[in-house]
Amino acid sequence: MDWKSFENRLECSLESLKDVASGVTTLIVLGSGLFEVARLGEEEKSIPFEDIPYHPKSFVQGHPGKYVISRFGGERVVFSLGRVHLYEGYHPLEVVYGLTLWARLGVKRVILTNASGGIGEYEVGDVVLIEDHINHQGTSPLIGCPLPARFVPMIDVYDQDVITYLQSIGVKTGVYAGVLGPQYETPAEIRSLKILGATLVGMSTVQEAIMAKFLGLKVCGFSLVTNRAAGLGGHIPNHQSVLDIASQGAKRMRELVTKVLEYWKEK
């Protein structure tokens, strides 16, 4: 997909949502098994991905593939119950399609969540605030972006005020390594990521964070640690166990998402 096709498709999608998206301020992207987080708001409207022209469809278990517009604390927010991934065969611009669409509709802030492997000293079930990321996915949604806009500085991708606030109340932080997948990492790959400074690893989020920075959005990211990464002990990871742990950790994720929404509202 090139940028011209991307823009043309977005225009069609915008037409289908403009009447329901008025006043939506924040997008919350819910990763594998985390859709229960959407219950923190008062639901107003549910929109399946497939009902939006040209919107990529999610085919991964644990990703329902719909948007839920809700009211939270007097504001309208939208939850993305699931996302699409590079490993499904999607182009980077398709991976960030939903985020870009909601930004065009007026969203100014995004919370990105995911299920991840823990490389650092975390316990399974910990929710970790992402303070930075490493792009090991070998691509970017900005490839082919018209000059000079493509040269985006990646300093402070994640909202530093939110990081400072959550650190002050004891929330753990980490560096997320985004890999391509769909296979899990080898022990050697995990050792190399650890040397590079990664403390979390997963197959999503990075493309969205890059695009959010490009679009000028405030960004916050959370990883729910669902397993110890390869070679660090614990059971051999599989997708079902990831979903099970994510479901158990959704309550803590909901608490932290709530804190961020309240913090942004006060700011």
Question: Could you give the residue numbers annotated as active site?
Answer: 32, 63, 85, 87-88, 115, 203-204, 227, 239
204 marked among binding-site residues: yes
Q: Are the CB atoms for 55 and 95 separated by under 8 Å?
A: no
Neighbouring residues of 16: CB distance < 8 A, sequence distance ≥ 6: 51, 52, 53
140 marked among binding-site residues: no
109 marked among binding-site residues: no
Cα–Cα distance for residue pair 196/224, rounded to 1 Å: 21
135 marked among binding-site residues: no
262 marked among binding-site residues: no
DSSP state for residue 66 in the 8-state scheme:
E
16 marked among binding-site residues: no
Q: Are the CB atoms for 64 and 35 separated by under 8 Å?
A: yes
Neighbouring residues of 177: CB distance < 8 A, sequence distance ≥ 6: 119, 133, 134, 136, 193, 196, 198, 200, 201, 202
114 marked among binding-site residues: no
206 marked among binding-site residues: no
Q: In this structure, what token pair is assigned to residue 112?
A: 């990105």
7 marked among binding-site residues: no
DSSP-based helix, strand, coil % in the chain, nearest 5: 35, 25, 40
Q: Which residues are annotated as a binding site for phosphate?
A: 32, 63, 83-85, 115, 204
Q: Which residues are annotated as a binding site?
A: 32, 63, 83-85, 115, 185, 204, 227
Q: Which residues are annotated as a binding site for a purine D-ribonucleoside?
A: 185, 227
